Amino acid sequence: RGDTHVRSLLYEAAVVILTRSQADSDLRRWGIKLREKIGFKRSAVAVARKLAVIMHAMLRSGELFNRATATT
């Protein structure tokens, strides 16, 4: 559901978080644990969805991104 282009960008961002990012974050650690359980593609989709939820909450509240509390 939703805009195809936005969904593909979120998935691409999730793949980068899981593979290329060296920054330590709760979101990345959560995604890597999930990858061990359910596989790479499904965990990338889950990270993309969580990233979308975080971004939506940021837009609503006006808060800045905090890497340490990204999964709460």
Query: 20-68: per-residue pLDDT in tens?
Result: 988 888 899 999 999 999 999 999 999 999 999 999 999 999 988 776 6
**What is the band of 71 on the pLDDT scale with cuts at 50, 70, 90?**
low
Taking the model in full, what pTM does it have?
A: 0.85
Distance CA 39, CA 69 (A): 24
The DSSP annotation for 38-57 comes to: H-HHHHHHHHHHHHHHHHHH
Please indicate whether residue 7 or residue 1 has the higher confidence score (pLDDT). 7
Distance CA 72, CA 41 (A): 22
**For the chain, which residues make up each domain, given as ranges?**
4-61
What's the confidence (pLDDT) of residue 63? 85
